[in-house]
Amino acid sequence: MLREFVTLFPYFYRYRFRYLAGFLCLAVASGGQMIIPQILREAVDIMTVGNFSAGDIAVLFRNLLIVAGCISVARFGWRYFIHGSSRRIEAELRGRLFNHLLVLDAGFFAGQKTGELMARSTNDMYAVRMASGMALVALVDGIFMTLVILVILFREAPALTLYVVLPLPFITILIIMLGTVVGRRFKRVQEAFASLSAQTQESVTGVRVIKSFVKEAYFLKKFGRENDVYLRANIDLVRLWGLFRPGIAFLSGITGVLLLYFGGNAVLAGNLSPGLLVAIFSYLEMLIWPMIGAGFTVNMLQRGAAALRRINDVLGQKPAIASKKGSVQEAPAGDVRVRGFSFRYGPDLPWVLRDLRFDIPAGKTFGILGRTASGKTSLISVLPRIYDPPEGTVFFGGTDGETDILDYDVASLRGAFGVVTQETFLFSDSIRGNIAFGASRELSEGEIQRLADISTISRDALGFPNGLETQIGERGLTLSGGQKQRIAISRALAGDPRVLILDDALSAVDTETEEKILERVLALRQGKTNIIISHRIRALSFCDFIIVLDGGTISQRGTHRELLSQPGFYRDIHALQTSGGPGR
């Protein structure tokens, strides 16, 4: 269990002075509580004798108020320092986890559910905060109070104390026995919560599909099953925890019975003063908290360890794509050159692309055509290193020669690209905000409007309630597919990338609008490299050079005119799109 907490050691060290101040305040608060029974003891003994004055009681009352005031200030202090530190640790660890997620490669996310990752960023973080805050308070305070109280009791009434502390070892055994079981059951609770979160996220994201197929009842039943699993896991944990606390309270109560019997006889025999008996009762009541606190500590530490194990699983993932030491920091410029490039997504998976060789001259527009699953998107995913190519296969050329794409700093390399995919992702923001997202600087009103005009989204914005300021909702659900694609094109242009990739980025737009957008985009990007992937020959006719992919290899290459003049897939598709079928 403690191995998982190694992750928190740097944070504990950073906030060591805050924790130290908090523990000092905790010692003052607990020490003040130890004084109160002594004041009560003196008061009871004075009143039992009967020889006292109002001034004597006033002095004791004043002392009690002073001690209570010190306890109140000290309690505020340890809550401020310790709980404040645990919340800072929670915030920093969550930031570290989020930052780590941003640097992990696409392959990692392909095997993860969004809801699962969200659960680790929320519910698990709460368990970590409790373990680094309240668990430490319960642990330190429990040890301190237990030792001090036992010292006081054995000093004041050693024989009586020996009787009343007999149940304490059994409390320790109970805590040890149930503590590990609590940890295992809490882990199941966390896993069930993550699964429930994943199911909820998937259902909300795909709500349009659910409604279109009238599958509400099916997904409600599926959600109900996940919810029942989470409920049963929680009930199992609560049932055990419900046995935990009453068991400790019962064993603690036995100490009170023993004290009443043996202590009462000692008072009647004159061997113990009534005030001391009241003080011992008070100390035993205080001793219950460390016992229960030990249960809290074990429970919270077990929960924290289970949560940290899940968080550490993510933090332990190494990004498959990272910058080399001494990598090229400048953004690439010049030609793209591909030499003997083959690619597959895993060592046991089939080849997606095989032995590709071609050049993309700087400042030219390059086209790619191919059947579905011919490897078009895989090819352009390699250029900005969403996936890594084999070494020595993809280069950027320039006046100083060729540089392997793997030698570039990842951030600098990706900063040179603007990519628009067929499946467009937009943020829950205004249209203006989504367009400006692609820029590395603040854009003026005129620049935003110009980018919106190029993609023609400004025409649609006239019909929106707030124009470009219209909020589009999560993932752009309030927009049509064509509107989302055009906003994405404006967003990509906002960064003025050296290489613009349009991966079937106008598939949801009519051909007339597509031509208009391409003319405007290419006019804006004169002298810059563009890559257009499309199933529409009309769109590819804007390209200076085109390759045709078939089964992961290049089956044809040439200009639009050259490809039309030779038999093959390109001419067949052109015939289908222009005259209704080949040979017509």
Residue 167 has phi, psi (to 5 degrees) of -70, -15
Better-scored residue on pLDDT, 257 or 114: 257
- Confidence band for 231, pLDDT divided at 50, 70 and 90: very high
Better-scored residue on pLDDT, 68 or 175: 68
b/e map 421-445, b = 16+ CB within 10 Å: bbebebeebbbbbbbbebbeeebee
Judge whether residue 582 has pLDDT over 50.
no
Q: Which residue has the tokens 């989470």?
A: 230
Judge whether residue 417 has pLDDT over 60.
yes
Phi-psi region of 476 (alpha: psi -120 to 50; beta: other; left: phi over 0): left
Average pLDDT, the chain: 86
- Confidence band for 474, pLDDT divided at 50, 70 and 90: low
Per-residue pLDDT, 399: 54
Per-residue pLDDT, 334: 64
Beta strands in 401-506 (DSSP E): 403-404, 417-420, 499-503
The amino acid that residue 543 corresponds to is: C
Per-residue pLDDT, 558: 94
Q: What is the pTM of this model?
A: 0.74
- Confidence band for 41, pLDDT divided at 50, 70 and 90: confident
Per-residue pLDDT, 520: 93
Please, what CATH class does the domain formed by 425-496 belong to? Answer: alpha beta
Q: Which residues contact 271 (CB under 8 A, 6 or more apart)?
A: none
Residue 432 has phi, psi (to 5 degrees) of -60, -45
Range 108-113 contact pairs with CB under 8 angstroms and sequence separation of 24 or more: 108/317, 108/319, 108/320, 113/194, 113/198, 113/201, 113/202
Q: What is the mean pLDDT of residues 535-543?
A: 92
Q: What is the mean pLDDT of residues 142-171?
A: 84
Output the DSSP codes for 486-511: HHHHHHHHHT--SEEEEESTTTTS-H
User: Domain 2-315: what homologous superfamily?
Assistant: ABC transporter type 1, transmembrane domain (1.20.1560.10)
In terms of Cα–Cα distance, which of 127, 236, 102 is closest to 190? 127
Judge whether residue 118 has pLDDT over 70.
yes
Q: Which residue has the tokens 């607990």?
A: 30
Q: Are 91 and 99 in contact (CB under 8 A)?
A: no
Q: How many residues does the chain have?
A: 584
DSSP state of 581: S
Q: What is the mean pLDDT of residues 87-95?
A: 93
Digit-coded pLDDT (tens) for 313-363: 888 888 888 888 888 888 787 689 999 999 998 888 899 999 999 999 989
In terms of Cα–Cα distance, which of 303, 313, 369, 300 is closest to 538? 369
**Every domain of the chain and the residues it spans:** 2-315, 339-416+501-584, 425-496
Which residues make beta-bridge pairs with 549? 370, 554
Q: Are 308 and 132 in contact (CB under 8 A)?
A: no
Judge whether residue 293 has pLDDT over 80.
no
Six-digit token pair at 295?
A: 């249960």
Judge whether residue 584 has pLDDT over 50.
no
Q: What is the mean pLDDT of residues 58-77?
A: 92
Better-scored residue on pLDDT, 98 or 1: 98
Please, what CATH class does the domain formed by 339-416+501-584 belong to? Answer: alpha beta
Q: What is the mean pLDDT of residues 563-581?
A: 87
Digit-coded pLDDT (tens) for 169-226: 777 677 767 766 776 787 788 788 888 887 887 787 777 778 777 888 888 998 899 9
| Topology match between the domains 339-416+501-584 and 425-496 | yes
Alpha-carbon distance of 561 to 173, in angstroms, equals 86
